[in-house]
């Protein structure tokens, strides 16, 4: 599984939302067009085929993590140096660690 | 949506939901269409023979030829897979108020011609009465009915407009029929 795990599949949060909007729009559009076309030529199977084409197209566009879905990466904090969290002298070690974390988040 | 498989699953489920909705809409577009059509049936060469059922009971066996004209092409739309048409003989005997015997049927597929014009057709199935109800019975009514087999929706049973009423002779025939 090492090879499979090395393939990047990750999208950032904005990209996930965009991907969902894109495939929903594509499939609904193909569904509407297929419905009209199937009604015109009196073949429901044409509707199913066109919807299937929409499925394939949205798979191609939204399954792989294309660069457009990775434009807004989450800005992670830099790892803190151990030395910067200096425990205040009067508190215990545990509570000092907690207050240090809280400080990180608020920054 | 953060992994490949969860995206594939979401897209597939969404496609199936849309397909189900489209199928239901397809049913809605055809549910109110008129399914009654004109049918013309005529019969000739009626005869009736005395015979026995497989259980050894007395039985009348009727025979005739029929002509059938009906244009069922308009019944095909995008929600029709095929038609099942069948010819029913209805008559009254002293034993039973209503007897119904299906004596002929046919499946009409989408691709085949549904403008029917049959001449001198023999019934496909034997026309038995469980007694002597066919001899000299002057009121046998033939009607054509059909089931419309849909892609989705109801399976209506429709009686065609038009019937043929005939009688069987008062003597048994000795010929093989």
Contact across the interface for B29 and A39, Cβ inside 8 Å: yes
Q: Please tell me whether residues B78 and B66 are part of one structural domain.
A: yes
* pLDDT tens, position by position, A46-68: 999 999 999 999 999 998 888 88
Residue B79 resides in a domain? yes
Q: Give the distance from residue A37's alpha carbon to the nearest chain B alpha carbon, in angstroms.
A: 11
Residue B172 resides in a domain? no
Residue A83 resides in a domain? no
Residue A1 resides in a domain? no
With b meaning 16 or more CB within 10 Å and e meaning fewer, what string describes A38-58? Answer: bbeeeebebbbebbeebbebb
Residue B177 resides in a domain? no
Q: Please tell me whether residues B43 and B103 are part of one structural domain.
A: yes
Contact across the interface for A23 and B19, Cβ inside 8 Å: no
pLDDT-derived band at A100 (thresholds 50, 70, 90) equals: very low
By residue range, what is the domain housing residue B131? 33-166
ipTM of the complex: 0.77
Q: Please tell me whether residues B57 and B72 are part of one structural domain.
A: yes
Residue A84 resides in a domain? no
Q: Please tell me whether residues B60 and B110 are part of one structural domain.
A: yes
Q: Please tell me whether residues B26 and B73 are part of one structural domain.
A: no
Residue A29 resides in a domain? yes
Q: Please tell me whether residues B87 and B142 are part of one structural domain.
A: yes
Interface test with B, best of A22, A44, A46 (most B CBs within 10 A): A44
Distance CA A33, CA B40 (A): 41
Who's near B39: CB < 8 A, 6+ residues apart?
B68, B69, B70, B143, B144, B160, B161, B162, B163
Residue A46 resides in a domain? yes
pLDDT of B38 > 70? The answer is yes
Residue A27 resides in a domain? yes
Comparing A64 with B12, which gets the higher pLDDT? B12
> Hey, which bits of chain B come out as E strands?
39-52, 58-71, 80-91, 99-109, 115-121, 127-129, 140-150, 157-166
Q: Give the distance from residue B176's alpha carbon to the nearest chain A alpha carbon, in angstroms.
A: 48
SS3 B50: strand
Residue A77 resides in a domain? no
By residue range, what is the domain housing residue A63? 20-69
Please state whether the predicted TM-score (pTM) of the whole model is above 0.80.
no
Looking up residue B48, the CATH number of its domain turns out to be 2.60.40
Q: Please tell me whether residues B101 and B27 are part of one structural domain.
A: no
pLDDT confidence of residue B31: 87
Domain count, chain B: 2
Q: Give the distance from residue A35's alpha carbon to the nearest chain B alpha carbon, in angstroms.
A: 7
CB B134 within 8 A of CB B13: no
Q: Please tell me whether residues B46 and B73 are part of one structural domain.
A: yes
- Closest Cβ–Cβ partner in A16, A48, A58 for B1: A16
Residue B136 resides in a domain? yes
Return phi, psi of residue B71, to 5°.
-100, 100
pLDDT-derived band at B24 (thresholds 50, 70, 90) equals: very high
- Closest Cβ–Cβ partner in B4, B10, B25 for A35: B25
In A, minimum Cα distance to B10 occurs at A20
- Closest Cβ–Cβ partner in B11, B21, B78 for A62: B11
Domain count, chain A: 1
Residue A36 resides in a domain? yes
Q: Please tell me whether residues B64 and B92 are part of one structural domain.
A: yes
């Amino acid at each position: 599984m090492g090879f499979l795990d090395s393939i990047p599949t990750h999208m950032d949060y904005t990209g996930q939302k965009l991907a969902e909007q894109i495939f929903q729009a594509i499939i609904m559009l193909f569904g509407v067009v297929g419905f009209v076309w199937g009604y015109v030529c009196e073949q429901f199977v044409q509707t199913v085929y066109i919807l299937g084409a929409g499925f394939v197209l949205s798979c191609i566009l939204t399954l792989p993590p294309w660069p457009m879905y990775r434009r807004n990466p989450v800005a992670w904090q830099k790892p803190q140096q151990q030395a910067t969290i200096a425990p205040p002298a009067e508190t215990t070690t545990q509570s000092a660690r907690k207050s240090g974390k809280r400080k990180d988040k608020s920054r | 949506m953060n992994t490949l498989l969860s995206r594939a699953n979401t897209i597939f489920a969404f496609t199936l939901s849309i397909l189900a909705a489209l199928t239901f809409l397809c049913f809605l577009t055809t549910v109110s269409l008129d399914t009654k059509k004109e049918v013309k049936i005529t019969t000739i060469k009626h005869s009736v023979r005395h015979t026995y059922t497989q259980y050894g009971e007395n039985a009348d066996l009727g025979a005739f030829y029929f002509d059938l004209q009906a244009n069922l092409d308009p019944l095909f739309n995008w929600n029709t897979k095929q038609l099942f048409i069948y010819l029913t003989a209805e008559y009254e005997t002293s034993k039973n108020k209503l007897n119904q015997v299906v004596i002929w049927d046919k499946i009409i597929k989408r691709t085949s011609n549904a403008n029917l014009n049959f001449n001198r057709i023999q019934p496909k199935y034997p026309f038995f009465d469980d007694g002597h109800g066919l001899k000299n019975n002057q009121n046998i009514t033939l009607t054509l009915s059909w089931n419309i087999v849909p892609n989705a929706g109801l399976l209506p049973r429709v009686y065609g407009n038009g019937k043929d009423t005939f009688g069987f002779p008062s003597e048994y025939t000795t010929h093989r029929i």
